[in-house]
Structure 1
Amino acid sequence: MGLLNAFKLSLLLPKKKAVYQLNRVKTKDFLLYILLLHVLFALPNGVSLIVDFMKSEDLDNTLLLAGFLYPLLVIMTGTIIISLLAMVGVLVRWMTKRKLVYQLLWKMAMYACTYPVILYVISSLLHQTTTIEYIGLLLLFLIIFTKMILTYPQMKK
Protein backbone atom coordinates (compact mmCIF):
# COMPACT_ATOMS: atom_id res chain seq x y z
CA MET A 1 0.00 0.00 0.00
CA GLY A 2 2.88 2.39 0.75
CA LEU A 3 4.31 2.14 -2.76
CA LEU A 4 0.95 2.94 -4.36
CA ASN A 5 0.46 5.79 -1.91
CA ALA A 6 3.87 7.23 -2.83
CA PHE A 7 3.02 6.97 -6.53
CA LYS A 8 -0.36 8.64 -6.01
CA LEU A 9 1.22 11.44 -3.98
CA SER A 10 3.95 11.98 -6.57
CA LEU A 11 1.27 12.44 -9.21
CA LEU A 12 -0.22 15.23 -7.07
CA LEU A 13 3.03 17.20 -7.03
CA PRO A 14 3.79 20.11 -6.60
CA LYS A 15 0.85 20.58 -4.22
CA LYS A 16 2.00 21.53 -0.74
CA LYS A 17 0.13 18.74 1.02
CA ALA A 18 1.60 16.08 -1.28
CA VAL A 19 5.14 17.45 -0.80
CA TYR A 20 4.91 17.18 2.96
CA GLN A 21 3.27 13.75 2.90
CA LEU A 22 5.94 12.35 0.58
CA ASN A 23 8.59 13.25 3.13
CA ARG A 24 6.84 10.92 5.58
CA VAL A 25 6.95 7.90 3.26
CA LYS A 26 8.86 5.00 4.80
CA THR A 27 12.38 4.34 3.53
CA LYS A 28 11.43 0.84 2.36
CA ASP A 29 8.64 2.22 0.18
CA PHE A 30 10.90 5.00 -1.10
CA LEU A 31 13.58 2.50 -2.15
CA LEU A 32 10.98 0.35 -3.90
CA TYR A 33 9.69 3.47 -5.65
CA ILE A 34 13.21 4.31 -6.86
CA LEU A 35 13.60 0.80 -8.24
CA LEU A 36 10.19 0.92 -9.92
CA LEU A 37 10.94 4.26 -11.55
CA HIS A 38 14.30 3.00 -12.83
CA VAL A 39 12.69 -0.11 -14.28
CA LEU A 40 10.00 1.99 -15.93
CA PHE A 41 12.64 4.33 -17.37
CA ALA A 42 14.64 1.39 -18.74
CA LEU A 43 11.63 -0.33 -20.29
CA PRO A 44 11.68 1.12 -23.85
CA ASN A 45 15.41 0.64 -24.41
CA GLY A 46 15.42 -2.71 -22.62
CA VAL A 47 12.72 -4.10 -24.88
CA SER A 48 14.57 -3.00 -28.02
CA LEU A 49 17.83 -4.41 -26.62
CA ILE A 50 16.23 -7.80 -25.98
CA VAL A 51 14.65 -7.85 -29.47
CA ASP A 52 17.99 -7.03 -31.11
CA PHE A 53 19.86 -9.70 -29.19
CA MET A 54 17.18 -12.32 -29.82
CA LYS A 55 17.67 -11.75 -33.54
CA SER A 56 21.37 -12.51 -33.16
CA GLU A 57 20.47 -15.85 -31.55
CA ASP A 58 23.19 -15.48 -28.91
CA LEU A 59 21.17 -16.44 -25.84
CA ASP A 60 24.05 -16.42 -23.34
CA ASN A 61 25.02 -12.82 -24.09
CA THR A 62 21.37 -11.80 -24.24
CA LEU A 63 20.74 -13.12 -20.76
CA LEU A 64 23.90 -11.51 -19.40
CA LEU A 65 23.33 -8.11 -20.99
CA ALA A 66 19.56 -7.75 -20.80
CA GLY A 67 19.08 -9.55 -17.50
CA PHE A 68 21.96 -8.27 -15.44
CA LEU A 69 24.24 -5.62 -16.93
CA TYR A 70 21.62 -3.34 -18.49
CA PRO A 71 19.47 -3.00 -15.33
CA LEU A 72 22.62 -2.41 -13.28
CA LEU A 73 23.76 0.31 -15.69
CA VAL A 74 20.34 1.97 -15.61
CA ILE A 75 20.25 1.98 -11.81
CA MET A 76 23.79 3.40 -11.55
CA THR A 77 23.30 6.14 -14.14
CA GLY A 78 19.84 6.94 -12.78
CA THR A 79 21.23 7.39 -9.28
CA ILE A 80 24.00 9.66 -10.58
CA ILE A 81 21.50 11.75 -12.57
CA ILE A 82 19.17 12.10 -9.57
CA SER A 83 22.17 13.19 -7.49
CA LEU A 84 23.06 15.84 -10.08
CA LEU A 85 19.46 17.04 -10.20
CA ALA A 86 19.47 17.26 -6.40
CA MET A 87 22.56 19.48 -6.73
CA VAL A 88 20.46 21.78 -8.92
CA GLY A 89 18.01 21.75 -6.01
CA VAL A 90 20.83 22.86 -3.70
CA LEU A 91 21.41 25.82 -6.01
CA VAL A 92 17.69 26.69 -6.07
CA ARG A 93 17.55 26.29 -2.29
CA TRP A 94 20.51 28.65 -1.90
CA MET A 95 19.01 31.24 -4.29
CA THR A 96 15.61 31.18 -2.58
CA LYS A 97 17.08 30.86 0.93
CA ARG A 98 15.02 27.78 1.85
CA LYS A 99 15.57 25.56 4.83
CA LEU A 100 16.37 22.16 3.23
CA VAL A 101 19.13 19.55 3.43
CA TYR A 102 20.64 17.62 0.51
CA GLN A 103 19.12 14.30 1.58
CA LEU A 104 15.62 15.76 1.45
CA LEU A 105 16.36 17.42 -1.89
CA TRP A 106 17.51 14.06 -3.27
CA LYS A 107 14.26 12.44 -2.19
CA MET A 108 12.24 15.34 -3.62
CA ALA A 109 14.14 15.13 -6.92
CA MET A 110 13.29 11.45 -7.18
CA TYR A 111 9.59 12.10 -6.70
CA ALA A 112 9.67 15.08 -9.07
CA CYS A 113 10.88 12.76 -11.82
CA THR A 114 7.62 10.82 -11.91
CA TYR A 115 5.84 12.85 -14.61
CA PRO A 116 8.92 13.24 -16.85
CA VAL A 117 9.68 9.50 -16.65
CA ILE A 118 6.10 8.52 -17.49
CA LEU A 119 6.02 10.96 -20.42
CA TYR A 120 9.42 9.72 -21.61
CA VAL A 121 8.29 6.09 -21.59
CA ILE A 122 5.09 6.90 -23.50
CA SER A 123 7.01 9.02 -26.01
CA SER A 124 9.73 6.38 -26.49
CA LEU A 125 7.24 3.61 -27.06
CA LEU A 126 5.33 5.67 -29.65
CA HIS A 127 8.24 7.12 -31.63
CA GLN A 128 11.90 8.11 -31.55
CA THR A 129 12.41 10.74 -28.84
CA THR A 130 13.86 14.06 -30.00
CA THR A 131 16.15 16.56 -28.28
CA ILE A 132 13.30 19.04 -27.95
CA GLU A 133 11.29 16.44 -26.03
CA TYR A 134 14.25 15.83 -23.70
CA ILE A 135 14.54 19.56 -23.04
CA GLY A 136 10.79 19.78 -22.43
CA LEU A 137 10.96 16.91 -19.93
CA LEU A 138 13.88 18.57 -18.15
CA LEU A 139 11.94 21.85 -17.97
CA LEU A 140 8.91 20.00 -16.60
CA PHE A 141 11.10 18.46 -13.92
CA LEU A 142 12.64 21.83 -13.03
CA ILE A 143 9.23 23.47 -12.73
CA ILE A 144 7.87 20.73 -10.46
CA PHE A 145 11.08 20.57 -8.41
CA THR A 146 11.30 24.35 -7.95
CA LYS A 147 7.67 24.55 -6.85
CA MET A 148 8.33 21.76 -4.36
CA ILE A 149 11.31 23.64 -2.93
CA LEU A 150 9.30 26.85 -2.68
CA THR A 151 6.71 25.15 -0.45
CA TYR A 152 9.28 25.06 2.37
CA PRO A 153 9.79 28.10 4.62
CA GLN A 154 12.67 30.51 4.21
CA MET A 155 15.55 30.54 6.68
CA LYS A 156 15.22 32.96 9.55
CA LYS A 157 17.73 35.78 9.61
Structure 2
Amino acid sequence: MVREGEPADAEGCRTIYAPFVEETWISFEEEVPSVREMARRIEGYGSSHGWVVAADEDEIVGYAYGSPHRLRHAYRFSCDVAIYIPPDRVGQGIGRMLYRSLFPLLAKNEVHAAYAGIALPNDASEALHEAVGFTPVGIYREVGWKFGAWRDVSWWQRVL
Protein backbone atom coordinates (compact mmCIF):
# COMPACT_ATOMS: atom_id res chain seq x y z
CA MET A 1 0.00 0.00 0.00
CA VAL A 2 1.30 3.46 -0.88
CA ARG A 3 -0.07 6.52 0.88
CA GLU A 4 0.89 10.09 1.65
CA GLY A 5 3.48 10.32 4.39
CA GLU A 6 2.76 11.84 7.77
CA PRO A 7 5.02 12.87 10.65
CA ALA A 8 4.14 9.64 12.49
CA ASP A 9 6.11 7.81 9.74
CA ALA A 10 9.34 9.53 10.74
CA GLU A 11 10.82 6.65 12.70
CA GLY A 12 10.13 4.15 9.92
CA CYS A 13 11.60 6.46 7.28
CA ARG A 14 14.62 7.15 9.47
CA THR A 15 15.18 3.41 9.95
CA ILE A 16 15.32 2.96 6.17
CA TYR A 17 17.47 6.04 5.61
CA ALA A 18 20.09 5.54 8.34
CA PRO A 19 22.11 2.78 6.59
CA PHE A 20 22.25 4.86 3.40
CA VAL A 21 23.84 7.70 5.38
CA GLU A 22 26.12 5.60 7.58
CA GLU A 23 27.25 2.90 5.14
CA THR A 24 26.98 4.23 1.57
CA TRP A 25 27.63 7.27 -0.57
CA ILE A 26 24.06 7.05 -1.98
CA SER A 27 23.16 9.86 0.40
CA PHE A 28 25.62 12.71 0.80
CA GLU A 29 24.39 13.39 4.32
CA GLU A 30 27.04 12.45 6.84
CA GLU A 31 24.89 12.29 9.96
CA VAL A 32 21.57 10.50 10.29
CA PRO A 33 18.81 13.02 10.98
CA SER A 34 16.88 12.65 14.20
CA VAL A 35 13.33 11.31 14.22
CA ARG A 36 12.20 14.86 14.97
CA GLU A 37 14.09 16.22 11.94
CA MET A 38 12.68 13.46 9.73
CA ALA A 39 9.16 14.36 10.91
CA ARG A 40 9.87 18.01 10.06
CA ARG A 41 10.96 16.99 6.55
CA ILE A 42 7.90 14.81 6.03
CA GLU A 43 5.61 17.63 7.09
CA GLY A 44 7.45 20.35 5.15
CA TYR A 45 8.16 18.53 1.90
CA GLY A 46 4.85 16.73 2.12
CA SER A 47 2.96 20.01 2.06
CA SER A 48 5.17 21.86 -0.43
CA HIS A 49 5.84 19.04 -2.92
CA GLY A 50 4.79 15.57 -1.81
CA TRP A 51 5.98 12.68 0.38
CA VAL A 52 4.74 9.13 -0.01
CA VAL A 53 5.43 5.93 1.91
CA ALA A 54 4.99 2.28 1.02
CA ALA A 55 3.73 0.20 3.92
CA ASP A 56 3.54 -3.54 4.38
CA GLU A 57 1.04 -3.85 7.20
CA ASP A 58 2.49 -1.48 9.84
CA GLU A 59 6.06 -1.46 8.48
CA ILE A 60 7.34 1.33 6.23
CA VAL A 61 9.15 -0.44 3.34
CA GLY A 62 10.08 2.59 1.25
CA TYR A 63 9.48 6.27 0.73
CA ALA A 64 9.87 8.97 -1.89
CA TYR A 65 9.51 12.73 -1.84
CA GLY A 66 9.98 15.94 -3.75
CA SER A 67 11.89 18.97 -2.50
CA PRO A 68 12.94 22.35 -3.93
CA HIS A 69 15.36 22.10 -6.84
CA ARG A 70 17.07 25.45 -6.36
CA LEU A 71 16.28 28.59 -4.39
CA ARG A 72 15.92 31.10 -7.24
CA HIS A 73 12.27 31.91 -7.95
CA ALA A 74 12.46 30.85 -11.61
CA TYR A 75 13.09 27.24 -10.45
CA ARG A 76 9.79 27.08 -8.52
CA PHE A 77 8.21 24.70 -11.07
CA SER A 78 11.06 22.18 -10.78
CA CYS A 79 11.89 19.86 -7.92
CA ASP A 80 14.38 17.25 -6.80
CA VAL A 81 13.11 13.80 -5.93
CA ALA A 82 14.58 11.13 -3.70
CA ILE A 83 13.56 7.55 -3.08
CA TYR A 84 14.77 5.09 -0.46
CA ILE A 85 14.00 1.39 -0.35
CA PRO A 86 15.82 -1.11 1.89
CA PRO A 87 18.14 -3.41 -0.08
CA ASP A 88 16.10 -6.49 0.85
CA ARG A 89 13.01 -4.91 -0.77
CA VAL A 90 14.62 -3.80 -4.05
CA GLY A 91 13.15 -5.48 -7.12
CA GLN A 92 9.64 -5.90 -5.68
CA GLY A 93 8.03 -3.01 -7.59
CA ILE A 94 7.99 -0.70 -4.57
CA GLY A 95 9.95 2.05 -6.33
CA ARG A 96 7.56 2.15 -9.27
CA MET A 97 4.55 2.27 -6.96
CA LEU A 98 6.08 5.09 -4.94
CA TYR A 99 6.86 7.20 -7.98
CA ARG A 100 3.43 6.53 -9.53
CA SER A 101 1.91 7.93 -6.34
CA LEU A 102 4.37 10.82 -5.99
CA PHE A 103 4.10 12.22 -9.54
CA PRO A 104 0.42 13.29 -9.21
CA LEU A 105 1.20 15.04 -5.91
CA LEU A 106 4.06 16.91 -7.55
CA ALA A 107 1.83 17.91 -10.46
CA LYS A 108 -0.87 19.07 -8.04
CA ASN A 109 1.77 21.30 -6.44
CA GLU A 110 2.56 22.82 -9.87
CA VAL A 111 5.80 20.95 -10.45
CA HIS A 112 6.63 20.82 -14.16
CA ALA A 113 9.88 18.81 -14.05
CA ALA A 114 11.45 16.47 -11.50
CA TYR A 115 15.20 15.87 -11.17
CA ALA A 116 16.90 12.90 -9.56
CA GLY A 117 20.55 12.94 -8.56
CA ILE A 118 22.01 9.43 -8.41
CA ALA A 119 25.37 8.97 -6.72
CA LEU A 120 27.41 6.60 -8.87
CA PRO A 121 27.64 3.71 -9.22
CA ASN A 122 24.03 2.71 -8.58
CA ASP A 123 22.72 0.51 -11.39
CA ALA A 124 19.47 -0.34 -9.57
CA SER A 125 18.53 3.33 -9.11
CA GLU A 126 19.39 4.18 -12.69
CA ALA A 127 17.22 1.28 -13.92
CA LEU A 128 14.30 2.38 -11.72
CA HIS A 129 14.47 5.99 -12.87
CA GLU A 130 14.64 4.96 -16.52
CA ALA A 131 11.67 2.59 -16.01
CA VAL A 132 9.47 5.41 -14.66
CA GLY A 133 10.29 7.86 -17.44
CA PHE A 134 13.39 9.76 -16.34
CA THR A 135 16.10 10.47 -18.90
CA PRO A 136 19.77 11.17 -18.12
CA VAL A 137 20.83 14.78 -18.56
CA GLY A 138 24.42 14.79 -17.34
CA ILE A 139 26.98 13.89 -14.71
CA TYR A 140 28.50 16.11 -12.07
CA ARG A 141 32.03 14.74 -11.76
CA GLU A 142 33.65 14.61 -8.32
CA VAL A 143 30.88 16.72 -6.81
CA GLY A 144 30.72 15.05 -3.39
CA TRP A 145 33.36 13.82 -0.95
CA LYS A 146 32.33 10.87 1.19
CA PHE A 147 34.19 7.93 2.73
CA GLY A 148 37.55 9.25 1.60
CA ALA A 149 36.81 9.59 -2.11
CA TRP A 150 35.24 11.91 -4.63
CA ARG A 151 31.81 10.83 -5.87
CA ASP A 152 30.08 11.50 -9.18
CA VAL A 153 26.36 12.18 -9.45
CA SER A 154 24.31 11.37 -12.53
CA TRP A 155 21.34 13.71 -13.03
CA TRP A 156 18.05 12.54 -14.50
CA GLN A 157 14.97 14.52 -15.56
CA ARG A 158 11.29 13.69 -15.96
CA VAL A 159 8.87 16.27 -17.29
CA LEU A 160 5.54 15.70 -15.61
Question: TM-score, normalised on structure 1?
Answer: 0.26
- In terms of fraction of residues, the more helix-rich structure is 1
Larger relative contact order, structure 1 or 2 (CA cutoff 8 Å, min sep 6): 1
Question: TM-score, normalised on structure 2?
Answer: 0.25
- In terms of fraction of residues, the more strand-rich structure is 2
